[in-house]
Structure 1
Amino acid sequence: MTVIAVPFHLDEHLPDLELPLPPGRSIAPALPPGATWERMATLYEEVAEAVAADVTAGRVPLVISGDCTTSLGVVAGLQRAGLRPALVWFDAHGDVQTPETSTSGYLGGMPVRQLVGGADRTVAHRLGLADVPEQDVLLVDARDLDPPEEVFLAGSAIRRARVDDIAGIAVGGPVYLHIDVDVIDPRDLPGLLFPTPDGPRLPAVAAAVGHVLAGCEVAAIGLACTWKPGSGADRVLAGLAGELSAAI
């Protein structure tokens, strides 16, 4: 496994982002001026290149970043290496917003929708990202959905599961395993940017992730460290991150 750090939240460089594992490589280019998605496309081009190189060399990249949009670069890199990955997406949120449905305008709430062919297409077009078929997406938890997300998912082929039910669900083909740490109940993880109560506890999430690692052909892992600086969450998650590293 290769640990790749992308110390950004969207297009904001976070040089002091506390990570649960030491990286073997850090991707932190100077981004050009311009619109946010255009700047992120530049960043994710480097992510895609790094992921494609690792996968082609027979390595499984673990990409650690400050939000979920880095997944666009990871999936593009897997596709460049000749894979057509399914997604297993752990998150307290649906991440299926669009610029038209999002009341906050937060770009980090859109990557799943982008990966299946919707929302802003700037990064997808720049990276040559092919749409992931909706039926190849498994959204795990997603307990905090806005009404437009509920409507979209109700008419979508995206599958949904609770953390406790993941062991009984089959996912075929190579898998991109994505874990937004806010899937964990905030009682177990301090300092989350978007804490969502009544979630699965850390041991349950770790067990579910273990089932995916044991039962699927995991081609890449994304870990979205959506926490505040100085929260200590990196130390809390060091054990889970170590298990991810050791399992591949």
Structure 2
Amino acid sequence: MTILCVPYHLDDHLPAFRLPLPAGAVTVHPDLPEADRWVRMAALHEEVADRVADQVWVGRVPTVLSGDCMVALGTAAGVQRAGVDPAVVWFDAHGDVQTMETSASGYEGGIPLRVLAGYRPDPATDRLGLRDIAEERLLLVDGRDLDPPEEEYLRTSAVRRSKVTDIEPGTLPEGPLLLHVDLDVIDAAEAPGLLFPTPGGPRTGEVLSAVRTILGTGRVVALSVGCTWHADEELDAEGGVRSRLLTELLASVS
């Protein structure tokens, strides 16, 4: 298992992003240009893509840990650069299928799954060379908190949907898989300190069981994990609730 730690939320470095990383983990912390947020994110995701491609080329399955879901764009681009055409399984409490034109909040982190389907808010994606992934090869798992534009898009698109508890090998898209897990998919009562807590979600054990089912297919070529939470020394310290969660998740990969 190769772990890349990307301590960023969008283009903001997170110096307090402390995770239970095993020996050999690599932290990705490039010098970002003095520019607007989109250009800075593009530079960050380019670095991630290069590192992911290097790992996939030699047959390793990289695990990318970050403070948001946008970094998954770099992970996807890296997998594609290595000559692999992945389908995507996307665990998230949210849809992540906004556009900057439909988003009421204007939050850039609400668009990555829509970008994978072909939405292009350049310059965030122009330098990545990211290729569109057909909607029917995208599987949104959970997505219980949707804005009206997201509901409309999902109703009319070919993006597939599933509950966490319904995940089994037969529900997955065919071919190699990029697996993305935003940890806010877990019920907020069991994952404290989330940036965007959403009640009514699956339990931690249910999410971990579904992730193990997907990993057990042997088709996952890269794993992206969004640790979308506020820094908290107590929760993130060894033995803390979030540290235990990540340790158990990483154990599923190794």
Q: TM-score range by the shorter chain?
A: over 0.9
1:95 & 1:30 partners in 2: Cα distance?
A: 27
Q: TM-score, normalised by structure 1?
A: 0.95
**Which residue identity is paired with 2:122?**
R
* RMSD between aligned residues: 1.3
Q: CA deviation at 1:176?
A: 0.4
Deviation larger for 215-224 or 173-182: 215-224
Uncovered stretches (5+) of structure 2, i.e. residues with no partner? none
Partner of 1:63: 64
2:79 & 2:156 partners in 1: Cα distance?
A: 28
Aligned: 1:245 with 2:253: yes
Partner of 2:213: 211
Residues 243, 105 of structure 1: CA spacing in aligned structure 2 closer, same or farther, 3 A cutoff? same
Partner of 1:11: 11
Q: Is the 8 A contact 1:65 1:224 kept in 2?
A: yes
Per-residue CA distance 1:83-123 (angstroms, 9 max, x = gap): 11000000000000111111111111000111111151323
2:218 & 2:171 partners in 1: Cα distance?
A: 11
Q: Is the 8 A contact 1:21 1:241 kept in 2?
A: no
Secondary structure of 2:93's partner? strand
Taking the TM superposition and a 5 Å limit, the aligned residue runs for 1:15-54 are 15-22=15-22, 24-54=25-55
Per-residue CA distance 1:16-70 (angstroms, 9 max, x = gap): 2022434611110121111211101111111000000001111110000000000
Taking the TM superposition and a 5 Å limit, the aligned residue runs for 1:37-186 are 37-167=38-168, 168-186=170-188
Runs of 4+ in 1 over 6 A off after TM superposition: none
Deviation larger for 157-166 or 169-178: 169-178
Deviation larger for 51-60 or 14-23: 14-23
Deviation larger for 117-126 or 40-49: 117-126
Q: CA deviation at 1:172?
A: 1.1
Partner of 2:230: 228
